[in-house]
Amino acid sequence: MPKRRAKNLKNLKRLKNRCILLGVSGGVAAYKSVELARRLTDEEASVFVVMTEAAKQFATPLSFETASHNRVYSSLFDEPMAHISLPAKADCMVVAPATANTIAKFAHGLADDLLSTCFLSFRGNVIVAPSMNWKMYDNPVVRRNLDALASAGVAQVGPGSGALACGEEGVGRMAEPAEIVEAVRAALSEKNLSGERVVITAGPTREYLDPVRFISNRSSGKMGYALARTARDRGAEVTLISGPSFLGKPAGVAYIGVETTSEMLGAVTEAVAKGATVLVMAAAVADFSPVRESRLKIEKGRGLTLKLSPTKDIVTSVSSSRKRPFIIGFAAETGSRADRAAKKMKEKKMDMIVFNDVTEPGAGFDVDTNKVEIIDRRGRIHTGLMSKDDVADAIFDRFLEIKA
């Protein structure tokens, strides 16, 4: 591999400098949208909030001003051209909470306040996050209005089910802010991976000693799931093959749950054979397996000496096959051992390897951030500490560079 100075990648954020118009209508979930505004500004997006009169009964403009670092708009007449100028500078419009009334106005083109006029003049991706009582949400009239919005190209996120403000249970809870941010990221993603068929592995694998005990590792699956969401958002057809994880299955990807290394090997081989163009091995595959798996629970007795044998290497099995996809591996090491990772890449015939030092703060297990070095035949790139979603973007950006 040519010795090149590692490039530093800083501030790679998909939402950075993007302008989001956040509409807030009058539902009790309005308070959750304050957090949504804060999360969007944390991602360095500029956020402009438009509140309906009813929304101000549930959350104060001051809260949104503080969270968005911008003044809040509400009246149609204070600045008569705001309904044109605000949408004109926005890249995406999000309405959260979207009440039954606001949804009805949008669906029928009513334009009697700032939010509904903004909706009509906006040319771009709109996302609504409905929030209402389950009986209202279930009402065919509301459903028809939402269908009308969907056929006009408006995306919907949520609602979820659970306890509602009225004390009843059902479907009608506004989607959580994290889920809405994800929908915004998806809406603003350039579809530059369309045509790619990406297989991603995530999480740990387990090797059983007996029916109740296994050997595994601390992987949460967060990096692999972030890669799956990101590839999906960027237009790829994604298959996520995951070991046991507490994370929710990402929507819009083919999901295959596995437990052991040999199950993962089987699933990867099958998915690759179906014509994958990229394989990303983000899973922390168990390296050893008990030589013998007891059919019955092993009794405590006087202690136990385990005899282990190495598991089959999944990535090598794919890289040595005749019709191989572009292969991206991971190397989670303890200490600054990028050279060891580079060696692994060569030995396992991968096209790229993503090295991280799990002892670094914010780059270990079960956290939402990572700090990696992307190594390939052309050089090395340091990402700096960033969210796993942004690391996933950096990896696919590099893949596109290499492929070009």
Catalytic (active-site) positions: 166
Q: Which residues pair with 354 in a beta bridge?
A: 330, 374
Instruction: Please tell me the count of residues contacting ligand CTP according to CB under 6 A.
Output: 14
Q: Which stretch binds ligand CTP (CB under 6 A): 95-103, 282-290, 301-309, 380-388?
A: 282-290
Q: Could you tell me which residues come within 8 angstroms of residue 326 by beta carbon, excluding any fewer than 6 positions away?
A: 277, 278, 279, 351, 352, 399, 402, 403
Binders of ligand CTP among 341-400, rule CB under 6 A? 344
Token pair, residue 16, equals 């950075």
Q: Residue 247 Cβ, how far from ligand CTP at the closest point, in Å?
A: 17
Q: Which ranges of 152-260 does DSSP label H, i.e. alpha helix?
A: 177-187, 222-233
| Minimum CB distance to ligand CTP smaller for 47 or for 198 | 198
Among 48, 119, 330, 396, binds ligand CTP (CB under 6 A): 330
Contact 354, 227 (CB under 8 A): no
Q: Does 285 bind ligand CTP (CB under 6 A)?
A: yes
DSSP conformation class of 28: T
| Minimum CB distance to ligand CTP smaller for 125 or for 260 | 260
Q: Which stretch binds ligand CTP (CB under 6 A): 27-35, 75-83, 328-336, 371-379?
A: 328-336
Binders of ligand CTP among 305-324, rule CB under 6 A? 311, 313-315
Q: Residue 238 Cβ, how far from ligand CTP at the closest point, in Å?
A: 17
Q: Which stretch binds ligand CTP (CB under 6 A): 61-69, 223-231, 330-338, 379-387?
A: 330-338
Q: Residue 232 Cβ, how far from ligand CTP at the closest point, in Å?
A: 20
- Report the run of H or E that residue 85 belongs to, with start and end: helix 82-89
Strand-strand pairing, 386-387 and 369-370: antiparallel
| Minimum CB distance to ligand CTP smaller for 331 or for 381 | 331
Among 129, 180, 228, 281, binds ligand CTP (CB under 6 A): 281
| Minimum CB distance to ligand CTP smaller for 41 or for 217 | 217
Q: Residue 1 Cβ, how far from ligand CTP at the closest point, in Å?
A: 17
Token pair, residue 390, equals 């942004």
Burial of 174 (0-12, 13-18, 19+ CB in 10 A): buried
3-state helix, strand and coil shares in percent for the chain, rounded to the nearest 5: 35, 25, 40
Strand-strand pairing, 254-257 and 237-242: parallel
Kindly write out the interface string for residues 223-262 of this chain, putting x where it contacts ligand CTP by CB under 6 A and - elsewhere: --------------------------------------x-
Q: How far is CA 332 from CA 211, 219, 225, 336, in A?
A: 29, 10, 16, 10
Asked if the bond preceding 159 is cis, omega within 30° of 0, the reply is yes
| Minimum CB distance to ligand CTP smaller for 72 or for 315 | 315
Q: Torsion angle, CA of 66/69/74/78, rounded to 10 degrees?
A: 120
Q: Residue 5 Cβ, how far from ligand CTP at the closest point, in Å?
A: 24
Q: Does 30 bind ligand CTP (CB under 6 A)?
A: no
Binding site for ligand CTP (CB under 6 A): 261, 281, 283, 285, 287, 311, 313-315, 329-332, 344
